[in-house]
Copies of this chain bind each other. A is one copy, B any other.
Amino acid sequence: MFQAAEVGRTVPKADYKRELPELRTRLIEAQQQLRHSNRSVVIILEGVHGAGRGALANRLQEWLDPRGVETHALWDLSDEELQRPYYWRFWRRLPARGRITVLFGGWYQDLLTRGGEGKLGVNELDTALTQARHFEEMLAADGTLFLKFWCHLPEKAQKKALKDQQHMPGEHYRYGHGKKACLKNREDLLRTAERAIRRTDTADAPWYLIESRDERYRDLTVGRTLAHALERHLAEERDGSVPRTSGAPDLPEAPSAQRTVLDGVDLERALEKKEYKQALNHHQDRLYRLIWQAYREKRSMILAFEGWDAAGKGGVIRRLIRGMDSRLYRVLPVAAPDSRERAHHYLWRFWWQLPRAGRMLIFDRSWYGRVLVERVEGLARQQEWKRAYQEINDFEEQLVDHGILLMKFWLHISADEQLARFKAREDTPYKRYKITEEDWRNRERWNDYRLAVNEMVFRTDTEYAPWELIPANDKRYARIEVLRRVCDRLEAMLDKG
């Protein structure tokens, strides 16, 4: 999940200065309208320690009309609060209609602190998250707009940020322990946060992942996302339609702010032919042994392949199965659903195909079509593909909880490489069938797909089923890399028993 906030997004100073005046005007205008509406706004700032939530809150106070905004940091429980049910401390701070409240952490803070310290079991966490979700649903139904921001830093950047902060007073209050503990607990905190975000990322109270290394990017993105949500929410109130807010943050216009996880994939990776042959033999032998072992131990495996047109999915899959016994696997190409499939929920056909114990199932394209082609081409309505992220996470969690090894691959190539491959296909008679009008059309939507992939990775890259982004400009490299990763994961699973 968090790799989508480690892609190096920035906003240069000049762009910041250019974009800011318009944003501030939009914010003030939206706030004016909010004042006379039936809506209220709750902004929750969460994130890793050192990501600058304090500075961000100050910025929001500066940009908005301060008479309509309150900011609350919830530190120790007061004795008044201790004497009442836990949520009393939040109820008393809820904004009235027309007003905005910024909460540091809100009802997530205590959970994340305890989760980060390893003091919270999964069931207890889930129970508390369900409560949080119901609380938000209740208020959203009554007109409250929620925006929840997770301010993220990669590990190195966090270390540096904490070091730079050392002279700030009052810092030791946060989370109730020191900087060393923050770093030591980072992994547990992020694991808890991933689960919390996944369980409470709803249409009415979405989470936004904000890369916070560059202050200008962080502040501008949060500001734009807030302005955009306010504007849509208020417009929808006027139209009488159900208020929905966007699921992805609203990016600044600077090109450097629009990097995606795909920009971090090193497309220079390549393999020499000789090296490739050796590695291919080696890993195919490994896979052959491992697959039979998995069969004997009744462990199943599901691989899902996604990627750009002409990225080489077919070639990778052929290299995978070449070493395998055909009784142990199936390859399922996923195209548009047939009439029987359309008579059911879109996940039904994937459930239907789930393998028996000890088998491998390979999907050439998968359930992610919902949030890729169906989203970009408008085949699914916005509310359909938006709720699909959570549906997919639930689906995959059930697979993994059942003991199935699930791996999902995105084969990445550059736009130039795709063009070269398309042309080659047109020029080679026996490859011509592979290229259609549709491929050229999809190519025109390259940028839409890029952003859809980025959001997909943010929302569905989970601890139990991470995305594998594979550099595939060099076909040999991609094939070996996939084979190797499959063998490694399978081996690790079988070793653990």
Contact = CB atoms under 8 A, between A and B. Distances in A.
A131 interface: yes
A84 B354 contact: yes
Interface string A392-420: 00100011011010000000000000000
A390 B340 CA distance: 37
Given A134-B394, A343-B97, A402 B84 contact: yes
Nearest to A346: B142
Given A340-B96, A351-B88, A345 B127 contact: no
A94 B351 CA distance: 11
Given A86-B402, A138-B391, A348-B91, A343 B96 contact: yes
Copies of this chain held together in the complex: 2
A166 interface: no
A263 to B, nearest CB: 33
A110 interface: no
A87 interface: yes
A113 to B, nearest CB: 19
Contacts of A352: 91-92
A203 B364 CA distance: 38
A172 interface: no
Interface string A74-97: 000000100111111001101011
Contacts of A88: 351, 354
A398 B126 contact: no
Contact of A387 (B96, B138, B144): B138
B87 A398 contact: yes
A298 interface: yes
Interface string A430-455: 00000000000000000000000000
Contacts of A80: 356
Nearest to A139: B345
A123 interface: yes
A87 B345 CA distance: 14
Contacts of A142: 345-346
A387 B86 CA distance: 22
A121 B126 CA distance: 14
B83 A298 contact: yes
A154 interface: no
A143 to B, nearest CB: 9
A348 to B, nearest CB: 6
Indicate the member of A124, A127, A387 with the most B CB atoms within 10 Å: A127
A88 B124 CA distance: 26
A98 interface: yes
A133 to B, nearest CB: 9
A357 interface: yes
Nearest to A340: B96
A398 B345 contact: no
Nearest to A358: B83
Contacts of A135: 394
A127 B125 CA distance: 10
A382 interface: no
Contacts of A85: 354, 398-399, 401-402, 404
Nearest to A123: B123
Contact of A83 (B98, B130, B357): B357
Interface string A189-205: 00000000000000000
B94 A356 contact: no
Interface string A38-82: 000000000000000000000000000000000000000000100
Contacts of A167: none
A431 B109 CA distance: 54
Nearest to A351: B91
Contacts of A391: 138
A494 interface: no
16 contacts: A80-B356, A85-B404, A86-B398, A91-B352, A92-B351, A94-B348, A97-B344, A98-B343, A121-B123, A123-B124, A123-B127, A126-B126, A134-B390, A138-B394, A142-B346, A144-B345
Given A83-B298, A92-B351, 19 more contacts: A83-B300, A83-B356, A83-B357, A84-B354, A85-B399, A86-B398, A91-B348, A91-B352, A92-B352, A94-B344, A94-B345, A96-B343, A97-B344, A98-B343, A123-B126, A127-B127, A131-B394, A142-B345, A144-B345
CB-based closest 3 A-B pairs: A123-B123, A96-B343, A83-B357
